């Protein structure tokens, strides 16, 4: 079973030597995405809600390139810079992920570079 990299111009290029996502068999791991605009490299959103929306746009672009969507997500890891961001993040997350059934999720508080407030990675199982 081979391992293949997934790459799209519709999501930001990784800042280091790693793939936007990797697929092996029916597993797809999307690397941590942040709120960079893929065309300009600028951060989109000046609050956690705005950055979360852009981050999910980037995730969805990588998933689409792999022939997947958030419906295939079984695990989401969220990295926030401030515990005060938990509630506004959850509002956007719930809106974008939907009701049935939500993937498992872990939220951790970390330092991120510059003005970034959120980073998210996703694990999917494809049919």
Instruction: Count CB neighbours of 60 within 10 A.
Output: 19
Residue 67: pLDDT band with limits 50, 70, 90: very high
Residue 36: CATH number of its domain: 3.30.1330.40
Q: Which two tokens stand for residue 116?
A: 């970034």
pLDDT of residue 100: 74
Q: Which domain holds residue 29?
A: 3-125
* Average confidence score pLDDT of the chain: 96
**Percent of the chain scoring above 70 in pLDDT:** 100
Residue 98: pLDDT band with limits 50, 70, 90: confident
The structure tokens 């799209």 sit at 8
Average pLDDT over residues 52-58: 98
């Amino acid at each position: 079973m081979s391992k293949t990299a997934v790459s799209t111009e519709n999501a930001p290029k990784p800042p280091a030597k790693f793939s936007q996502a990797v697929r092996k068999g029916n597993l797809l791991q999307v690397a941590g995405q942040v709120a960079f605009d893929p065309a300009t490299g600028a951060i989109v959103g000046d609050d956690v809600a705005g950055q979360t929306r852009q981050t999910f746009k980037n995730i969805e672009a990588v998933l689409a390139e792999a022939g997947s969507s958030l419906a295939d997500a079984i695990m989401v890891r969220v990295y926030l810079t401030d515990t005060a961001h938990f509630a506004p993040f959850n509002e956007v997350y719930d809106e974008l992920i939907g009701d049935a059934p939500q993937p498992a999720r872990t939220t951790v508080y970390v330092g991120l570079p510059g003005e970034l407030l959120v980073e998210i990675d996703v694990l999917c199982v494809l049919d």
